A and B are shown apart, each in its own frame.
Chain A
């Protein structure tokens, strides 16, 4: 048994986690600085590459591709072999994928700071970075899809449905964004397609990978199967069918043909079905096991993420109502909403998952579980109290001020106290992430060795998987 190639390549997972840590610590440092700039706009002392316009894009692209993207790779490098019950089809390819992906993001972020930004939101990385990124993306996804296809398991678990859907969809979506609206489709037509891209980058890249991860993490952490297979099916297929169609809602009341915008309303509203089925399924799985949450920081992160996911996905259908749009569109409300999804939900999922798998890929217990709780508390406090609530409020204030036809100055002046609050929140969030990173590094260096033999552990895992996922 010990001669057989281990299912999960620990080194690969560890390195992808380290890179993802860079992917969050660097862009968030920029974000923290940027938060200051909205309060003290001359703080960059006229340095072009520290300018708000460039930093904003550095931040968004950095967290999407550098943090969420690479941490997805890290977690998939762990989950895919587990669920497929075999090692990755080619670890070399996985390494190459990780390498090109990272190079692409790094080149893109440097290019943005150097002033090579392109004009499609979330696809601002310059073309040379796009090329590297696409190579990395194709190598990594081929590895994962290939592994799933090569699996001899009888049943495909729900996480894998999401991974296959998300990875194939996004390959096409990313290429579309960087070609069609960038160079071919003009004006309103370009905006309709850009809307699809923006929407599906969240909806069919981040969502399916994140949701797929929760579908794995929640049962293994709770050591019991998911509540309902039927609900999993309904949640998956409604997402796959309806989510890709609502992109125009990013440009409501724009010159995009009106029929497209009108159609986008119900097509977005119906996504409420997705969140209700998925979250109900998760919460029912949790039922009877809530007492475990305060004992397990990894679980606490995932569960808090689930609540944020429920909140943000409930906001979505509400925000699509045109009456609401009139007030909140273009305001900080949307900024808060986006952060609730990407930080509140998906970053929490990934942090929780990394905390869970770290001992398994290092062979050591977490350095100090109390540190995980510290970062949890700081993150929740920093994000919800100092970021989400004030910035949501700022959005309403801005929206109603514009609506009243008051001078534009009013909307900026009245937003400033909220922006200042966000600076404080930024420090708390950053501290939380530093502690999280410190925890991981110290675990590798000083964590207590897990006594259990590798064989025993593998057997136990296998039994657990059989019970939880119904096969193996």
Chain B
């Protein structure tokens, strides 16, 4: 045989040796593998997202496996990857370089709106990021930046990565939360504040803005929007807690990997951002009477979520994500509370209370300010009729409080439904109920998604508390203890009747006709 033939055969032979020995043999040894429990095959949208992930070369900077080394399972908050997870991955996207973090455990780590803001421009939420922006997968509609189908697909794909490991990841997370405690507090030195500023600019300034005012690109894209840190005066402990734990149900991620000292630095710096906003001239003066009014209203409308004492621990609070504000820790300014009452917080269970008279809203805002200062301050400022001791909940009728307008039994006979009344009901519904119960009355409002028990669905004929107009009226007036349904006794009686008929109109064709 000629020498050149030998080399030709060796070229083919060594290829076959390599392919059979180190390619086909591993493949064979993986035969019979079953997908892990809870594994879901990707939907068409997720699959399309994967195609985009491939064609944009995302996989060149983001790997997709957690290694069994250097505590990566801890770092990426999910278990080490196994071959079974990749049974349907063709081509595999393990990746060979991590300019950005690994994505194998990305499911549920961030909210969809965070991903959209991040894809539109990564710097909008992660200021230090060097990731490319993908603005061509978004379009402007009515001044809003809306994801196109490609962006939706990409986010759906990202949220599918490692979702079969969600139970494990959630368990790891709850263990972390359960054992969390605020670490030793270093003295508040100038150096530490400087470090805090540096870290704030690095990690927080994307959403909250470099000045803390949250007038950022991300603020336009995130629901609920990032907090304006100049109008609230959170305690450093609270900032510390939120920085380490994030705010589930919002785009606020956690920054668990920073050291105790760094997180304190951030906490001190955020505290220093507070600039008490001046009261507008229209605001009434803070008087004991006004505060007493605020207390009454608070007891009726706010305490079921925010808790009697403002700790954010009301009976309806537990299922809410994000959790209702803890006023003792968040310490909102009066003006901010007033604004929130007027506008609500989109994407949360906090509805707008613009229907309340302005004076009532100011009363609540002053009362919340007193609450946030603690019980002593509260007793002192409520001199004429302060509560003796924190009453046990639910206690809408503490001694000395003015009566809420109508007593339930006074409502036994309501007005007849008229087209005007239904139209009125529709407009009140839009202000008060829509956030949770949804425009279609199906209980799928934007703020309702996280609630447990879920908001009532009015489109069926099932009424948990009775379908008679009187029974519905009672629920609106008194609320449902143990749920997010707050009492709305402060609404004028006519409005509540209007709501009764409007709510019934979702399932009652007769009433529906009246509406038209």
Contacts and interface: CB of A to CB of B under 8 A. Distances in A.
B57 A117 contact: yes
A431 to B, nearest CB: 25
B238 interface: no
A184 B90 contact: yes
B96 A193 contact: no
Interface stretch (A87-95, A250-258, A312-320): A250-258
A165 B8 CA distance: 6
A209 B257 CA distance: 48
Contact of A41 (B11, B14, B123, B135): B123
A409 interface: yes
Given A54-B56, A57-B57, A194-B92, A254 B257 contact: no
Interface string A187-199: 1111111111010
A160 B4 contact: yes
A336 to B, nearest CB: 12
Contacts of B245: none
Nearest 9 CB-CB pairings of A with B = A187-B86, A168-B11, A53-B57, A244-B18, A189-B27, A253-B67, A164-B7, A330-B98, A255-B83
Contact of B4 (A46, A148, A255): A148
B311 interface: no
B61 A53 contact: yes
B116 interface: no
30 contacts: A46-B133, A48-B134, A51-B134, A53-B56, A53-B58, A53-B60, A57-B60, A117-B56, A121-B60, A145-B4, A145-B8, A148-B4, A164-B11, A182-B91, A184-B90, A187-B87, A189-B27, A244-B22, A245-B17, A245-B18, A245-B22, A248-B26, A255-B85, A257-B26, A330-B96, A331-B97, A403-B70, A407-B203, A408-B100, A409-B126
Given A42-B133, A413-B202, 17 more contacts: A41-B132, A42-B123, A51-B132, A119-B54, A124-B57, A149-B4, A169-B14, A183-B90, A185-B90, A188-B86, A191-B94, A196-B22, A245-B17, A245-B18, A254-B94, A255-B86, A409-B202
Contact of B30 (A189, A329, A334): A189
A166 B7 CA distance: 10
Given A41-B122, A257-B29, A188 B83 contact: yes
A179 to B, nearest CB: 11
B1 interface: no
Interface string B440-451: 000000000000
Interface residues of B, number: 76
B69 interface: yes
B176 interface: no
Contacts of B128: 409, 412-413
Given A412-B129, A413-B202, A54 B75 contact: no
Contacts of A120: 91
Contacts of A183: 90-91
Nearest to A38: B130
Interface centre among B11, B25, B89 (most CB of A within 10 A): B11
Given A57-B57, A244-B15, A156 B22 contact: no
A366 interface: no
Given A41-B129, A254-B94, A331-B98, A189 B26 contact: yes
A172 interface: yes
Contacts of B122: 41
Nearest to B86: A187
Given A117-B54, A149-B4, A46 B135 contact: yes
Contacts of A335: 97
A187 B26 CA distance: 11
A219 interface: no
A165 B14 contact: yes
A247 interface: yes
B96 to A, nearest CB: 6
Nearest to B202: A409
A109 interface: no
A166 B86 contact: no
Nearest to A48: B136
A127 to B, nearest CB: 13
B54 A37 contact: no
A182 B91 CA distance: 5
B10 interface: yes
Interface in B55-97: 55-61, 63, 65, 67-71, 74-75, 81-83, 85-97
Residue of B15, B101, B121 with highest tally of chain A CB at under 10 A: B15
Contacts of A412: 99, 128-130
B260 to A, nearest CB: 13
A158 B81 CA distance: 45
B26 A260 contact: yes
Interface in B34-62: 54-61
A196 to B, nearest CB: 5
Interface of B: 2-4, 7-8, 10-12, 14-15, 17-19, 21-23, 25-27, 29-30, 54-61, 63, 65, 67-71, 74-75, 81-83, 85-101, 121-123, 126, 128-136, 202-203, 255, 257-258
A52 interface: yes
A190 B89 contact: yes
A44 B96 contact: no
A200 interface: yes
Contacts of B30: 187-189, 257
Nearest to A261: B26
A115 B11 CA distance: 35
A248 B131 contact: no
A121 B14 CA distance: 22
B54 A190 contact: no
A405 B74 CA distance: 8
A164 B132 contact: no
Contacts of A54: 56-57
Nearest to B75: A405
A160 B8 CA distance: 11
Interface in A219-271: 240-241, 244-248, 250-251, 253-257, 259-260, 263-264
A280 interface: no
Nearest to A184: B90
A187 B255 CA distance: 32
A172 B7 CA distance: 15
B83 A257 contact: yes
Contacts of A241: 14
Contacts of A247: 18, 22-23
B164 to A, nearest CB: 14
B17 A186 contact: no
A53 B67 CA distance: 24
A97 interface: no
A173 interface: yes
B72 to A, nearest CB: 8
Contacts of B135: 46
A116 B56 CA distance: 8
A63 interface: no
A339 interface: no
A116 B55 contact: yes
Interface string A135-168: 0000000000100110000011000110011111
Given A57-B60, A248-B22, A403-B70, A240 B129 contact: no
B83 A187 contact: yes
A172 to B, nearest CB: 5
A188 B133 contact: no
A326 interface: yes
A196 B18 contact: yes
